Amino acid sequence: MMNKRSIIFGLLGFALFTNVHGQEKLVEISGRIKGIGNREIRVLDPEKGEIKRFNATQDNFKIEVPLHTNDQRFFTLHLPSLGDMGPSMKTPALFFMVDDDPINIQAHIEEGSVETDTIIGANDFNAFNSTYKQLKSTGELMLVTAEYNKAFNAYNNVAQTEENLEALKAVGDKIEAIYTDQRKEITELIASNPKSLTVATLARQYTAPEMTPDAISTFLSQFDKGVIAQSFYLKELQNKLAKVSQLEVGQQAPDFTIKGVDQKAIKLSDFKGKYVLLDFWASWCGPCRREMPHVKAAYEQFKGNNFQVFAVSIDSDATAWKKELEEDNMPFVHALDVKGKQSVGDLYMVRAIPTNFLIDSTGKIIAKNLRGEELSKFLESRL
């Protein structure tokens, strides 16, 4: 079910586990979450991940925790009893910013999701919400949400007819059109407020650029340099600009070490002298599995010509990964990525799968995201 809270939850979710440093201050956070009882609450920082866990006492809580107060970042109170962080129909977390003052959070649990009632003391957060609510597109999204929920329920819970499916698609198209208008609206807001930290945060959340050097540079050029220096999310983009530039065609592929199926270490540079398709996938990924026959065909055709496939799975379930390897008979090099500071997916900025990089015998990236027969055709022109 798409609704306002799930839309915001999904958009904010990308902010977790980035790496931009700054100074911290001990901040008092208190409040009441009606319905949480004595269950666990976790505090998440967008830079460090989880930084504190504690239990409420009869819905109430009061803690002190070191937080960044000067770069307008979103922190998270996660209620793990409501579900994991990540895309979800439910909202198991609430978001907040902090200033120098203590903050008080009042919220409640409704239909398995946590809903924020008020946050007192978080002036930056309240300014952000106020600016967002003033957008014309925000009001339009709120109105169309009820229409979407009705169409979603009709198709999924009443009857999966062609008529109900078309109605659901029509509302989905309407929402996409509103998002397009929203991006234009926020871009105009940036033009008239290039020095506003609140507008910078809003823009990063709702008009995030594609992860290409040109798109990131164009996005950052809209803002005053002082705001970029002050904003957690714009500094994050600056860091990503440097990183994504290293992954462009013509650049040397970043080396890494990862454990293979037999738990022995494998380095990308071990394959120097060969053409390598570095392929990110997962056993649960439908598009990946549909693409795999093309990858296997290219491997069989060119394996005698110094070509290798290095398939890196982002599966969180090692058993499911190994089962897929056995059932689909993929006779090339495999490894399982492990989330954390040494994640290969993070090193290669993998945001969707399948994603692949074709690397030549010198270790240089020569193509990206070759799909279907494109892979074999490209290799045929090189090998």
Sign of the alpha-carbon dihedral angle for 288, 294, 297, 301: negative
Distances in Å between the alpha carbon of 4 and those of 7, 141, 144? 5, 8, 10
The active-site residue, picked from 288, 336, 344, 353, is 288
Question: Cα(263)–Cα(175) distance, rounded to whole angstroms?
Answer: 46
Q: Which residues contact 361 (CB under 8 A, 6 or more apart)?
A: 272, 273, 274, 275, 306
Residue listed under structure tokens 């980035």: 18
Nearest to 340 by CA among 80, 48, 35: 48
Closest among 162, 28, 10 to 105, alpha carbons compared: 28
Could you confirm whether 285 is annotated as catalytic? Answer: no
Catalytic residue ranges: 288
